């Protein structure tokens, strides 16, 4: 991808008054971790940066509305599949008003291959109607506003904030949640608590890119079932080393080598 946002999007991010992101509130409410935990967390984050220097959002978009729609479509779907659907979709619907007045059956047919298309179409139309009614047709750049939109949870909101607006955010998807527990960064299954726990360990400016790197590592190496511990670049640092095969050859077979946007 692709978070190949055009200059206008990046400029919008750069021009935003500081301190509007609600991620800041998340960090401020976190319990203070001990220094050893913090030091190890930063070592893991640094190693992830080394392992995945090119990590980024795989969804194609050219403005915040497109990213919001693509992120809604990405639920239970690979990024590659979403990227196959969006060129036609984005050409057909250019503004929130276009989506708000969309013919539901037509929208459903355009997004059908992403799965759960009825729910997704309902979310997209509802989200766009709210954008028109309450935000002048623009995607808001605050977490507390984004999460009031139909189909937009905290995870989607943080993707949009971090990737389209440049506001640091921790995206707690299934991979980030699993890895945070394995790294010993959290003991919770509650995404809000996990977000808070990670925020207490990692500098704010790294939140968005760290989320991407954790997602990449989760997709490729640290799988839910049978993580490839013996072939993992974090094996010297990870407190969960050994929960998957440690034999290097056996572990290497578990590493997913497909392009990242084809992995769930």
Stretch that binds ligand SF4, among 28-36, 64-72, 107-115, 220-228 (CB under 6 A): 220-228
> CA–CA separation, 84 vs 260, rounded Å?
15
Shortest distance, position 119 Cβ to ligand SF4, whole Å: 32
Cβ atoms of 243 and 229 within 8 Å: the answer is yes
Please choose, from the candidates 142, 167, 143, the residue with its C-alpha nearest in 3D space to the C-alpha of residue 155.
143
- Following DSSP, what letter does each residue of 96-124 receive, concatenated? HHHHHT--HHHHHHHHGGGS-HHHHHHHH
* Beta carbon nearer to ligand SF4, 182 or 196: 182
Q: Is 155 a catalytic residue?
A: yes
CB 80 within 8 A of CB 120: no
Question: Locate tokens 């309450």: which residue?
Answer: 134
Number of residues engaging ligand SF4 in binding (CB under 6 A): 14
| CA atoms within 13 Å, Cβ hemisphere of 155 | 17
Q: Minimum distance between the CB of residue 254 and ligand SF4, rounded to whole angstroms?
A: 9
Least gap, CB of 236 to ligand SF4 (angstroms): 9
Q: Which is nearer to ligand SF4, 57 or 222 (CB)?
A: 222
8's tokens: 């206008």
**Which candidate in 141, 155, 197, 235 is catalytic?**
155
Instruction: Choose between 169 and 245: whose C-beta lies nearer to ligand SF4.
Output: 245
Q: To the nearest whole angstrom, how small is the minimum distance from the Cβ of residue 46 to ligand SF4?
A: 14
Per CB under 6 A, which of residues 221..260 are in contact with ligand SF4? Answer: 221-222, 227-229, 232, 234-235, 238, 240-241, 243-244
Closer CB to ligand SF4, residue 191 or residue 227? 227
Alpha-carbon gap, residue 98 to 90, rounded angstroms: 10
**How many CB atoms lie under 10 A from the CB of residue 252?**
13
Contact 83, 59 (CB under 8 A): yes
Please provide residue 66's backbone torsions phi and psi, each rounded to the nearest 5 degrees: -60, -40
Question: Quick one: DSSP state of residue 205?
Answer: G
Q: Does 37 bind ligand SF4 (CB under 6 A)?
A: no
User: Measured from the CB of residue 242, what is the shortest distance to ligand SF4 in angstroms?
Assistant: 7
If phi > 0 it is left, if psi is from -120 to 50 it is alpha, else beta; for residue 153 that is beta
Q: Per-residue x/- marks for ligand SF4, 153-182, CB under 6 A?
A: -----------------------------x
Contact code string over 178-197 relative to ligand SF4, x by CB under 6 A: ----x---------------
Give every CB contact of residue 147 below 8 A, 6+ residues apart in sequence: 153, 154, 157
* CB nearer to ligand SF4: pick between 167 and 229: 229
| List 173, 189, 205, 247, catalytic entry | 173
Residue 238 C-beta: closest distance to ligand SF4, Å: 3
Q: Which of the residues are catalytic?
A: 155, 173
- Interacting residues with ligand SF4 (CB under 6 A): 182, 221-222, 227-229, 232, 234-235, 238, 240-241, 243-244
């Amino acid at each position: 991808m692709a978070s190949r946002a055009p200059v206008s999007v990046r400029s919008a991010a750069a021009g935003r008054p500081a301190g509007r992101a609600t991620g800041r509130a998340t960090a401020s409410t976190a319990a203070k971790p001990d220094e050893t935990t913090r030091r190890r967390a930063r070592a893991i984050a640094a190693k992830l940066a080394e392992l995945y220097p090119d990590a980024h959002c795989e969804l194609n978009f050219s403005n915040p509305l497109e990213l919001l729609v693509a992120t809604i479509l990405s639920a239970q779907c690979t990024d590659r599949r979403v990227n196959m659907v969006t060129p036609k979709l984005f050409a057909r619907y250019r503004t929130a008003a276009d989506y708000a007045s969309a013919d539901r059956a037509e929208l459903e047919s355009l997004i059908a291959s992403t799965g759960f298309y009825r729910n997704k179409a309902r979310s997209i139309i509802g989200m766009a109607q709210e954008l028109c009614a309450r935000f002048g047709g623009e995607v808001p750049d605050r977490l507390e506003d984004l999460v009031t939109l139909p189909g937009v949870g905290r995870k989607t909101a943080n993707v949009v904030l971090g990737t389209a607006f440049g506001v640091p955010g921790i995206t707690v998807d299934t991979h980030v949640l699993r890895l945070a527990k394995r790294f010993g960064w959290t003991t919770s299954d509650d995404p809000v608590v996990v977000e808070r726990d990670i925020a207490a360990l990692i500098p704010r400016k790294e939140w968005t890119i760290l989320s991407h790197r954790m997602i990449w590592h989760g997709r490729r190496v640290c799988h839910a079932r049978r993580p490839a511990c013996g072939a993992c670049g974090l094996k010297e640092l990870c407190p969960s080393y050994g929960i998957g095969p440690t034999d290097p050859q056996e572990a290497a077979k578990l590493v997913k080598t497909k392009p990242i946007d084809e992995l769930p």
